[in-house]
Amino acid sequence: MTSYTTPNLNVALPTGAVSQALNLKTPRDNVNVQALFDYALTPDQTVRAAFNHAHNSANNLGVGAFDQAERAYGTIDSTSNLRLQETGPLGRRFFTNTRLNVTWSHNDQSSDLEAPTIQVLDAFTSGGAQMAGERSSAAFTFASDVDYVRGRHSLRTGVLINGGSWHSNLDSNYLGTYTFDSLAAYEAGQPSNFTRRRGDPTIAYNMVDVGVYVQDDFRVQRGLIISPGLRYELQVHLSDWKDLGPRIGATWAPFRSGRTALRASVGVFNDWLSQTTYEQVLRVDGVHEQELNIVNPAYPNAGAAGVTPLANRYFLDPNLRSPRNTRVSAGIDQGIYTSPSWVVRTNVLYAYTSSERLWRGLNLNAEATGVRPDPAFANVVDVVSDASARQHQLTLGWNVGLPPQPPGNEAPKLWNWKRFAVFGSYIITSAHNNTDGDFSVSPSGTLTDQRGRSALDLPSRLNFNFISLNLRRTTMQMSLNEQSGLPYTETTGFDNNGDGIFNDRPAGVERNTLRGYDQWTLSTSVSYSIPMRRRAIPVTGVTATGFTGTTISSVGTYSDAVRYRLTFSLQTQNLINHSNYSGYSGVLTSPFFGQPTAVFNPRRVALNVQFNF
CA distance 27 to 74: 10
**What residues are paired with 73 via a beta bridge?**
61, 111
Among 280, 270, 250, CA closest to 262: 250
What confidence category does residue 533 fall into, taking pLDDT thresholds of 50, 70 and 90? low
Contact predicate 365/372, CB 8 Å: yes
Tens of pLDDT, residues 466-500: 999 888 889 999 999 999 999 999 999 999 888 88
Phi/psi at 132 (nearest 5 deg)?
-150, 165
SS3 at position 184? helix
CA distance 529 to 564: 10
Mean pLDDT, rounded, of the chain = 90
User: What percent of the chain shows pLDDT beyond 90?
Assistant: 70
CA distance 471 to 411: 8
Tens of pLDDT, residues 77-101: 999 999 999 999 988 889 999 999 9
CA distance 55 to 39: 28
Cis status, amide bond into 323, omega within 30 of 0? no
Contact predicate 179/117, CB 8 Å: no
Say if residue 563's pLDDT is above 80: no
Highest mean pLDDT pick, 115-129, 365-379, 464-478: 115-129
Contact predicate 99/106, CB 8 Å: no
Pairing verdict, β 310-316 and 380-401: parallel
Range with the lowest mean pLDDT among 233-242, 244-253, 265-274? 233-242
Tens of pLDDT, residues 175-194: 999 999 999 999 999 999 99
* pLDDT at 83 (0 to 100): 97
What Å distances lie between residue 329 and 260, 265, 266, 394, 395, CA to CA?
Answer: 17, 5, 6, 10, 11
* pLDDT at 562 (0 to 100): 64
What Å distances lie between residue 376 and 309, 498, 577, CA to CA?
Answer: 9, 16, 54
Say if residue 406's pLDDT is above 80: no
SS (H, E, C) 377-421: CCCEEEEEEEEEEEEEEEEEEEEEECCCCCCCCCCCCCECCCCEE
* pLDDT at 552 (0 to 100): 42
What Å distances lie between residue 18 and 12, 52, 68, 458, 594, CA to CA?
Answer: 6, 44, 10, 32, 17
Among 492, 491, 500, 192, CA closest to 367: 500
What confidence category does residue 409 fall into, taking pLDDT thresholds of 50, 70 and 90? very low
Say if residue 386's pLDDT is above 80: yes
**Any idea what DSSP says for residue 585?**
B
Tens of pLDDT, residues 321-370: 999 999 999 999 999 887 776 789 999 999 999 999 999 999 999 988 77
Q: Show the CA angle centred on residue 449, arms to residues 178 and 492, nearest 5°.
A: 35
Phi/psi at 69 (nearest 5 deg)?
-60, -30
CA distance 449 to 438: 18
Among 84, 83, 82, 94, CA closest to 44: 94
What radius of gyration, in Å, describes the C-alpha atoms of the chain?
28
Contact predicate 196/172, CB 8 Å: no
CA distance 491 to 436: 14
* pLDDT at 581 (0 to 100): 93
User: Is the dihedral angle over the CA atoms 112, 114, 118, 119 positive or is it negative?
Assistant: positive
* pLDDT at 362 (0 to 100): 96
**Exposed, middle or buried: residue 571 (CB in 10 Å: 0-12, 13-18, 19+)?**
middle
- Cα dihedral 135→136→138→141 (10° resolution): 30
Tens of pLDDT, residues 282-317: 999 988 898 998 988 999 888 654 456 789 999 999
CA distance 185 to 9: 22
What Å distances lie between residue 580 and 178, 479, 514, 599, CA to CA?
Answer: 31, 16, 17, 5
* pLDDT at 556 (0 to 100): 43
Is the overall model pTM greater than 0.75, yes or no? yes
Q: Show the CA angle centred on residue 542, arms to residues 525 and 33, nearest 5°.
A: 70
